[in-house]
Chain A
Amino acid sequence: MHEFNWGLLIVVYLFLGGLSAGLFFAAGLANYLTVDDKPVYARVARMGALLAPWPVAIGSGLLILDLGNWYRFYKLFLHFRWQSPMSIGSWLLTVFTLIAFLYLFAWLKEDERKWIFSKIPATWKQVHRLNVDISSWREKIAMVGFPFSIGVGIYTGVLLGAVSARPFWNTNLVAQMFLFSALSSGAAALLLAMILDRKNPIEKHETKFLVTLDVVFISLELFIILPYIIHGQLSSQAVKDALTLILGGPYTVVFWVFFLFLGLLVPLAIEVYELFPSIFKGREFHGSRNMALTAAGLVLFGGFLLRYIFVYAGQMSSFHRMGMLQ
């Protein structure tokens, strides 16, 4: 059996990194959509801002624990190697995480901010000087953060796609696939969080916004996955061989049934079904809570599976006649 050098922790890391990128993107976007100069999705923006930094922070922690010598992780930041996606990615992820935390800070309510600072010893004067209201910076932070969130979403794919030795990964579509999947997971996670937050029940226009966003991202993702398969079939033998991993090989069922059908097509169908009457028949958007919950849950499940399939199947693919290696 081929041995896997990267395991579940890497899958989780790529998923959480993408999730944060998607959350930030959706939150930033929500911040920009205004009607008569009033933000209509301010609550979406706030929820996204509060959630965005955590997944990537946890994911990076997991990645560090996965290293053979975790205490040497600082060496990642002593070098900048532009040819190594991991080197670029470490810097990118760090900057993005800082921006995401700053954005969170900008969305804290006055009393929340005061409460946090009340926990910090009064003698730490320098820290207390940070207790300022930066809510007017929200738009600026979101704007600066957009390219970084896209960058992080792309990076999770490039980390795999740039490995020339693994034909399953080494196509220029993997980066976009991971990006759109990340953006869609972000929108779905936000929807899930807003629905589950019973204290501030989600409003119809908010559900509609997030569902629409997710439909767009899922569709984009779908139209990257189809070309990925078609392109691969028309590519060199090594790529064709690699694709057999999902076309008859060990990852066929997870890919087609669990990822593509359950994790992508079913939520897409649910969301389109929900939106259809309000868009084409001029009726009011109802937004069933259970439907939205199911769709959002499935999207997250699918997003995780996509990383799972790629991390594992990709490591099995190679230029050798596959399986010959003991």
Chain B
Amino acid sequence: MAIKKKRYALVIDSRKCINCKACVVACKAENKVPVGNFRNRINEERKGEYPKLSINFEPEQCHHCTDPSCVRVCPTGASWQRKDGIVLVNYDECIGCRYCMIACPYDARYFNEEEGVVDKCTFCSHRVDKGDIPACVETCPSKVRVFGDLEDPTNRIHELLSTRRYRVKEPQTGNGPQLYYLL
């Protein structure tokens, strides 16, 4: 039997986001992210003046791009992409040149000063490989985040992306970002 192809992606219903930052905290704890660095963030967009005011919260992290420019520029192959689409850094190969940070259009990477290597969101691949979901997805109290496999028609994100309107951020980068924001 052929092994089924996988393609992990994250759907984000950002209108439900209340900026509680539980996902940011959960990620830091799960992945032991150094003080001062973050693998995910909540972008804030303000419009208007009080009382005609609106604020949008939009969670963002590595988009695990289909055609990741970070991987393309890495001189050692330390940045790489798994068959299921997850983009990772092999810390033993990384020389810390930071070219990938500059090449990422979404500013998704950070430099781990202590280790001298670059790091970023891994989609919690260590959990996903055990059949779990990423820590940020599990934690989110308002169910903003839905993680799943695009190749699996029975998956919830399949249903969401077929029935709801969505956008990806800056598609003109040509990277093929895989965070889908529901409208």
Chain A residues at the B interface, C-beta cutoff of 8 Å: 5-6, 66-70, 72-73, 75-76, 78-79, 81, 83-87, 90, 162-166, 236, 238, 315, 318-320, 324-325
Cβ-defined partner of B117 (8 Å) among A5, A69, A238: A69
Contact A84 to B96, CB < 8 A, known contacts A165-B104, A324-B45: no
Are the C-beta atoms of B101 and A5 separated by less than 8 Å?
yes
In the bound complex, residues from chain B placing their C-beta under 8 Å from that of A319 are 105, 170, 172-173
Alpha-carbon gap, A83 to B43, bound state (A): 32
Interface residues of B (CB under 8 A from A): 43, 45, 69, 72-77, 93-99, 101-105, 107, 111-113, 115-118, 170, 172-175
**A315 (CB) vs chain B CBs: closest residue:** B102
* Interchain CB contact under 8 A, B105 and A165: yes
19 contacts between A and B (CB under 8 A): A6-B98, A68-B95, A68-B98, A68-B117, A69-B95, A69-B117, A76-B75, A79-B76, A83-B72, A86-B73, A164-B69, A165-B69, A165-B104, A318-B105, A319-B105, A319-B170, A319-B172, A320-B107, A325-B43
Q: Do B75 and A84 touch (CB < 8 A)?
A: yes
The answer to whether B75 and A86 have CB atoms under 8 Å apart is yes
Known: A68-B113, A75-B93, A325-B107. 8 other contacts (CB 8 A): A5-B101, A66-B97, A67-B97, A68-B117, A69-B95, A84-B72, A86-B73, A90-B75
Structural contact, B72 and A79, CB atoms closer than 8 A = no
Given the contacts A68-B96, A72-B95, A84 and B117 also touching, CB distance less than 8 Å: no
| CB-based A-B contact count at 8 angstroms | 95
Instruction: Knowing A67-B96, A73-B95, A75-B93, say if A320 contacts B75 (CB, 8 Å).
Output: no
Contacts of B101 in A (CB 8 A): 5
| A67 touching B105, Cβ below 8 Å | no
Whether the pair A81, B94 counts as a contact (CB closer than 8 A) is no
A residues near B107, Cβ cutoff 8 Å = 318, 320, 325
Q: Is the CB of B73 within 8 A of A162?
A: yes
How far, in angstroms, from A243 to B77 measured CA to CA in the complex?
32
> Is the CB–CB distance between A5 and B173 below 8 Å?
no
B80 to chain A, nearest CB (A): 11
Chain A residues whose C-beta falls within 8 Å of the C-beta of B93 in the assembled complex: 75
- B38 → A minimal CB distance (Å): 11
- In the bound assembly, the distance between CA atoms of A250 and B107 in angstroms comes to 21
Identify which of A70, A75, A165 contacts B76 (C-beta below 8 A): A75
The answer to whether B116 and A320 have CB atoms under 8 Å apart is no
* Contacting pair B75 A164 (CB below 8 A): no
Could you say which of B43, B99, B115, B118 contacts A86, with CB atoms under 8 Å apart?
A: B99
Taking CB atoms, residues of chain A closer than 8 Å to B102 are: 5-6, 163, 165-166, 315
**6 interchain residue pairs of minimum CB distance:** A68-B96, A68-B116, A165-B105, A87-B75, A86-B75, A69-B116
Contact among B43, B95, B173 with A75 in the assembled complex (CB-CB below 8 Å): B95
B28 CB to closest chain A CB (Å) equals 17
- Report chain B residues within 8 Å CB of A84: 72-75, 99
Residues of A within 8 A of B103 (CB): 163-165
Q: Are A68 and B105 in contact (CB under 8 A)?
A: no
Q: Which residues of A contact B74 (CB under 8 A)?
A: 81, 84
B118 partner residues in chain A, CB cutoff 8 A? 68
- Give the distance in Å from the alpha carbon of A78 to the alpha carbon of B117 in the complex: 18
Name A237's closest neighbour in chain B (CB-CB). Answer: B172
Q: Give, as a whole number of angstroms, the nearest-CB distance from A188 to chain B.
A: 29
A244 to chain B, nearest CB (A): 18
Cβ–Cβ contact A86 & B72, under 8 A = no
Residues in A neighbouring B95, C-beta threshold 8 A: 67-70, 72-73, 75-76
CA distance A238 to B173 in the complex (A): 10
Provide the bound-state CA to CA distance between A73 and B76, in Å: 10
Tell me if A86 and B69 are in contact (CB < 8 A). no
